[in-house]
Amino acid sequence: MATFAHASVQALLLEGYTLQDDCVRRGIDSIERFTLHDEEWGKRLQLCVSPVWDTAFMLRGLCGAGVNRNDERMRKAINWVKSRQVLDNRVGDWRVYGSSSLDPGGFCFEYNNSWYPDMDDTAAVILAIITQDPSGVGSSTVAKAASWVCGLQNRDGGWAAFEVQNDNLWLNKIPFSDMDGFCDPSSADVTGRVLEAFGLMIELSENEYLEPEIRDKISFACTRAIGYLASEQEQFGAWWGKWGTNYLYGTSNVICGLSYFSEENDQVQDMIFSATSWLNQMQNPDGGWGESLLSYQDSSRAGKGPSTPSQTSWVLLGLLANCNAQSTEIMNGIEYLVNTQTDVLESGGASWPEWRFTGTAIPNHIYLGFDMYRHYFPLMVLGKYLRAAAVERDTTTKEHESRDGSRGSPANGQ
């Protein structure tokens, strides 16, 4: 990350190294590789890059939008993502607190970061693989990834981003820890993403082969995760989000995961109902949703802020997983996305303009602007809406045909 490289160069200079020393020059060169240049903004520095994360979500967006899943470009992208799996037994900070018998299998955020694979990226990749090809649920890639994630579940039932049981929050009170970022406790948004990946795996296992041992392992992990999420839900129905702004992100992630477990679980149904009711209340008059970064400082600002394409899409993904696609709130949200697709690209396509930061690195301190969010999250939503609306139309048509048929049936005496 550029932040670490910058701090390392400063440390070397304080120790007496000069700008001409090789280690300093290489450090500055590495920082330079994180810079962007354009006419509008000039030269600026990125905190990090996110190719695995972005490719996984773009694959899901394209699949959902109806792009041929066997298209050569789709296969090339999914194979590239699979090649990023971290399988080196010798490295990884997750081993510090994790079981010595746990095999690697995670994915990282960047091109290569074998020391820090993370649960969120690994779950996102699982979802991308089995969305592009459902039979991939039984692949060794998915099995290794799912087993690795299960092995890093915290005692409270949730998942952190990078490690297990790294929750000594008193370390954040040390005077030089000025960003409250020493620890990596469970978070609802990461737990929701893992729950979504495992939920889809379990659903697909009804038609695709999944090793019974893996199915049992992830099922048990999901039961524990639901208990954790029940304990973390706010009184007003939302969940706090650590890696995206904020309650809108956390709540969407959680209900996308819980939706796979709601059919026969009254507790889960109640959790979802409370969350979706809150989301509906937070809809802006323009049909979209938005939340200010200030909600991290003041929870009374939860879910409040100017509408953005990415935040609107997060909410709609959650609502579409649990609500009628023809509901007023969903229809108004879809209309907002359709009306705001005004960013015409050089390629002749169109996307959504978004200038607000909706990504979070360290709440209250470091925020991220993901340029791809404005592309693939709305794409995921529109594709999901069209599929859900089509299913509901077909169901309604069959119900009408059934009633009409029964009225006209001689067996009914007519």
Catalytic positions are: 120
- Could you count the other beta carbons within 10 Å of the beta carbon of residue 6? 16
- Could you count the other beta carbons within 10 Å of the beta carbon of residue 36? 11
Question: Would residue 37 be called left, alpha or beta, if left means φ above 0 and alpha means ψ between -120 and 50 degrees?
Answer: beta
Residue 1, exposed/middle/buried by CB under 10 A (0-12, 13-18, 19+)? middle
Amino acid at 219: S
Q: Could you tell me which residues are beta bridge partners of residue 359? A: 244, 368
- How far are the Cα atoms of 81, 82, 149, 303 from residue 90, in angstroms, in the given order? 21, 20, 18, 43
- Could you count the other beta carbons within 10 Å of the beta carbon of residue 301? 16
From 141, 127, 237, select the one nearest 188 (Cα to Cα): 237
From 67, 187, 231, 50, select the one nearest 124 (Cα to Cα): 50
Give the span between the Cα atoms of 363 and 298, in whole angstroms.
12
- As a whole number of Å, the CA-based R_g of the chain is 23
From 116, 113, 114, 92, select the one nearest 102 (Cα to Cα): 92
Q: Could you tell me which residues are beta bridge partners of residue 118? A: 107
